[in-house]
Structure 1
């Protein structure tokens, strides 16, 4: 892994994308193979990402170790069936609807295709089977376990052809990067997935995040099985996973991308986007449609409105910018007593971090971010995906552009000042909140239509027909 002393490039200020562009235009990374598979498509996200990404990966590994025994056999009985569709998901997508925790990305899809299996990774822990609507589900931890065992037993002496290219890159940038372990993980993904699909022969696989499943994607595609990526977060021409500067075998990338809206098609017009624009199909968001058709009411909101002029939902992120955001919000709270910030952490790991918080910053764990946004006047974050979604709930964004991250991720997509403003200082924030000409919720939703398309249920059915899966 990249050591803590290296953020993007030692002594440099390049972004991850700039770093990867430099490598891919100067080194023949496409020639590096193991067992006949190009390994760079799998390695690039790890070597190109900043230290906080690696800390997140490390955190996920320790979480999986802690939850191994409670997760590895979750839904194990579901493995002993044959399925037409394999779907990869994670627990953070679940939201409570009518007493059940519904996966907002894939559960509706699972009701309209025949014989699907959900392979779910527990990013905290799996929900009790009685509390979810998903009928056929198995833990991804089981597959991680098999892949780990396979790598240790059978890949000890794995040969990497042209490995000197990787050695040269590490030496040039002084990187402490354990690429051998990652290559073994990639090959294990591929082999174990090939073995699994021998007994299923599914029609298609749906994956929420392509770049952490490249070995699995290759296994499906080399067997002629369609792979569809379901958008899980921001996609832009600044995101290194979605911009490729070398030509690789297409088997490492999805056949189609189901997106929130039309804006990703415009991004795909850039020369280096990872798939063509005609492979992108906008479908919208199941949960945004649900919130808009089922308005929520919370009594505490009325109480807050008696004391404060502005209610702001802040969506947190497990990211190094979080502490800077807290400092920023504290500064705003000191300067203006009319604003109440309701901070919704990404998960309960926020409790492990100690911050001094103004009395006008409340931390909420009870109401999810989407519901909270819908009852507030504004939404604030650095670059959480909620920035894409808030205007489709009728609520404008004021994004805190810490270290340029908000504009880096969103300037190309969220470029309508009627729905999104970017600020760099507490004074700018207060000025923005006082002068923002807030429009009716329906108007703001309409202005965000290109970012998130409404009518998800209709769109997803049409998308499946378009790619001959329904």
Structure 2
């Protein structure tokens, strides 16, 4: 059986997994995204994001983060605020030399909101200096709860009936997709950490007493959301990337549901508001736009179109990077291939994509060069299914999709933005010289007046 969310959902519905309650917890909410992602990675051999290795050095770094958090940016010492903004752990260095959370720092910068940001570490570090001073780290909660769970030797009790169901799901996944995943172990680990984590989150929330909590990337933040729900604090998610009916963090077809999902989802545009079956009512999915891209485009002056920009991502990086090399070998001197890595590829590309160490290709492996400035220089953008391709349409860059098999992303970009599918170097060469025109449907992806809509929407929840 091919792996896609439709086939995966059939297994979920067969075993009624989203109704599964263990120790009073809707446990499938906590593991769904991780299970689906593990299957995908084992089948494809591609890893979407870097992860810290399980070494003694990294264990000590976790302890160090926890100790530092006792005295520096301790969330338990924060005063009352109207809003908590639990942002993206990966910050981006901007021209002002500050590291931005492009989702939440934009709100701090543009909107008059009484809020404090929460941040988890990214690969065992926090990038500094951060753009906002209203920032608290969550290392105490994240690693403190893990340590307490191990010291207390808390072993969750899974009833026999539920254990049998979970083992049946493991067997079905093995039979249908040909890979093994340990669902029971995932659940035991999550329940053990959650016991202390939710207690700590509740203490922080009660101390700050926010009227709303805003999150970026809700999957993986289930304990925080559950804690907010228990204290009647509305949770609002900001869209951070691609949403579709093949995204296990957002699409819950038929009878499937998710208890620990935000109460509201603020999307970039009308297309995204209708791209999946969300586990909340339609009126709670609100189109506001993406203030960050809107503000950045205003500041970038048009330049000469001189590069062919490849947009990479971990799941397709090997194939796409080889194709980029082939294209570079056939270009004349008027144009240059620029290969923009996904941040999750920065640390491993030289080992995994060694063929990119090539005189004819410029590899962007850090945040020093703005992606949006690259769009302003691009005559073409080439990719597979990266969210950045949609951002490129906002800059009116013609899109080439390197794929033989039609996908949801390619179909959308072809239908809405005039993208073309390519499979050979010759296809790319033929596309050079296409006049850069305004893409008429780009505001379906990125709504107009994003700053005004975002600020007024959040203010309406607080006031």
What TM-score do you get using the length of structure 2 for normalisation? 0.84
CA distance in 2, matches of 1:410, 1:249: 24
Q: CA deviation at 1:410?
A: 1.4
* Partner of residue 217, structure 1: 225
Cα gap change, 1:132/1:215 in structure 2, threshold over 3 Å: closer, same or farther? closer
* Partner of residue 421, structure 2: 422
* Partner of residue 149, structure 2: 151
* Partner of residue 449, structure 2: 455
CA distance in 1, matches of 2:209, 2:144: 20
Query: Could you report, residue by residue, the CA deviation over 1:212-263 in whole angstroms, capped at 9, with x for unpaired residues?
Result: 1112111111221100111111001121221124657764111111111111
Structure 1 residue 46 corresponds to structure 2 residue 4: no
Q: CA deviation at 1:193?
A: 1.8
Cα gap change, 1:311/1:462 in structure 2, threshold over 3 Å: closer, same or farther? same
Higher mean C-alpha deviation, range 48-57 or range 382-391: 48-57
What TM-score do you get using the length of structure 1 for normalisation? 0.83
CA distance in 1, matches of 2:191, 2:431: 48
Structure 1 residue 313 corresponds to structure 2 residue 309: yes
Cα gap change, 1:311/1:114 in structure 2, threshold over 3 Å: closer, same or farther? closer
> Helix, strand or coil for the counterpart of 1:234?
coil
Higher mean C-alpha deviation, range 34-43 or range 244-253: 244-253
Cα gap change, 1:138/1:220 in structure 2, threshold over 3 Å: closer, same or farther? same
User: In the alignment, is the contact (CA less than 8 A) between 1:90 and 1:122 conserved in 2?
Assistant: no
Structure 1 residue 208 corresponds to structure 2 residue 196: no
Cα gap change, 1:41/1:57 in structure 2, threshold over 3 Å: closer, same or farther? farther
CA distance in 2, matches of 1:412, 1:221: 37
Cα gap change, 1:114/1:340 in structure 2, threshold over 3 Å: closer, same or farther? closer
CA distance in 2, matches of 1:259, 1:154: 41
RMSD: 2.9
* Partner of residue 120, structure 2: 121
CA distance in 2, matches of 1:380, 1:65: 39
CA distance in 1, matches of 2:48, 2:195: 22
1:299-378 to 2 correspondences below 5 Å: 310-317=306-313, 319-337=314-332, 339-347=335-343, 348-349=346-347, 350-357=349-356, 358-364=358-364, 365=366, 366-378=368-380
* Partner of residue 242, structure 2: 234
2:293 to 288, 293, 302: 288
CA distance in 2, matches of 1:140, 1:67: 14
Q: CA deviation at 1:56?
A: 5.2
* Partner of residue 276, structure 1: 281
Higher relative contact order (CA 8 A, sep 6+): 2
* Partner of residue 396, structure 2: 394
Structure 2 unaligned blocks of 5 or more: 175-179
CA distance in 1, matches of 2:19, 2:370: 46
* Partner of residue 85, structure 1: 83
User: In the alignment, is the contact (CA less than 8 A) between 1:43 and 1:183 conserved in 2?
Assistant: no
User: In the alignment, is the contact (CA less than 8 A) between 2:82 and 2:113 conserved in 1?
Assistant: yes
Q: CA deviation at 1:39?
A: 0.4
Cα gap change, 1:186/1:389 in structure 2, threshold over 3 Å: closer, same or farther? farther
Higher mean C-alpha deviation, range 375-384 or range 162-171: 375-384
User: In the alignment, is the contact (CA less than 8 A) between 2:382 and 2:399 conserved in 1?
Assistant: yes
Q: CA deviation at 1:187?
A: 4.5
